[in-house]
Amino acid sequence: MTDLRVHIGVTTLKNPILTASGTFGYGPEFEPYLNLHALGGFCTKGISLEPRAGNPGVRIVETPSGMLNSIGLENCGSRVFLDEMLPKIAAYDTAIIVNFYAHSEEDFVKLAATLSESDRIDALEMNLSCPNVKQGGSVFGADPRLIESLTAAVRKVTKKTLIVKLSPNVTDITVTARAAEAGGADAVSLINTLIGAAVDRRTRRFTLGNKIGGLSGPAIKPVALRMVWQTARVVKIPVIGIGGIATLGDVIDFLLVGARAVQVGSANFVNPGVAQDLVEGLDRYLAERGETLDALIGSVQE
């Protein structure tokens, strides 16, 4: 077995294959399909201070090689998460990364502080980019000054590995990535979903109850790959690549352009065992070539 370990902040991942927030439930849902111990880690559904019901109406619609979702960040809230969900997954020998979000700096800080009290949480992933929340869309995620100050404020209350998850719905992702770095993030993860819409032409309404939603899946991979490459060139902290990853080839592409780890998202819906396949595939790929993970990462010729 090749050494697949990756260091991000104060966390050592046993391998660079993570599962993306909102696409892996709270974890146990996948037990029948894969060995959770095999994963580098998993990102929980986005947690907020209080429970949230999410959006009414249709929440998911298929698009060419992808999907739109407007789940609306439905989640059980931080209290229930810590008291009921976390104990159920605490025993998994894999990194638990808690994805979290709020609507004000104050709440972001409060939430980060609360989550930091749990020893079993390995890292926090701060979601700045959810396009589904009605109050103005991607507000935090588009303003570099806000990102920097918010990151700095959260940084003050947590010693855990702090990952800032970036929105692709910006003119220049390197600007927002640098802002997160300047604020003290240990890593950036990208991309979150692109904002899109679909219409039900029979009823002449938007298909999603929320009208707009987040586009994910293989369709967005070229955009994600470009943004990860651009970002990895300008920040010193690790970049975690996300967007349309479904095959070993996709994983390798993201590592080649400089991602230190990757997250598998919508592909979990198609094949709930895919993340473990990717870990095993990456191991074989490196072993066959006698190559180290470090040598692979960022090795695309420019």
Give catalytic status of residue 76 as yes or no. no
∠ CA 222-228-231, nearest 5°, is 140
Query: Taking the mean position of all CA atoms in its chain, how far away is CA 72?
Result: 16
Separation between Cα atoms, residue 56 and residue 179, nearest integer Å: 34
* From 47-55, 74-82, 118-126, 200-208, span contacting a copy of itself (CB under 8 A): 200-208
Q: Is residue 16 near a copy of itself by the rule CB under 8 A?
A: no
For residue 173, say if its preceding peptide bond is cis, omega within 30 degrees of 0: no
Task: Decide which of another protein, ligand FMN, a copy of itself, none touches 58; Cβ closer than 5 to 8 Å per partner kind.
Answer: another protein
CA distance 17 to 214: 22
Q: Which residues contact 180 (CB under 8 A, 6 or more apart)?
A: 147, 148, 151, 164, 166, 188
Contacts (CB under 6 A) with ligand FMN, residues 208-267: 214, 216-217, 220, 242-245, 264-267
Give buried/exposed letters for 12-33 (b at 16+ CB in 10 A, else e): ebbbbbbbbbbbbebbeebeee
Minimum CB–partner distance for residue 190 and a copy of itself (Å): 14
Q: Does 290 bind a copy of itself (CB under 8 A)?
A: no
Site string for another protein, 200-239 (x = CB under 8 A): -----------------xxx--------------------
- Give Cα separations from 99 to 33, 189, 228 (angstroms): 23, 11, 19
CB of 119 to ligand FMN, least distance (A): 23
Kindly list the residues in this chain that would bind another protein in the complex (CB under 8 A): 22-25, 29-30, 32-33, 45, 53-54, 56, 58-67, 69, 71, 74, 217-219, 246-247, 266, 268-273
Q: Which residues are catalytic?
A: 130
* Residues in touch with ligand FMN (CB under 6 A): 20-23, 45-46, 69, 71, 73, 99, 127, 130, 165, 192-193, 214, 216-217, 220, 242-245, 264-267
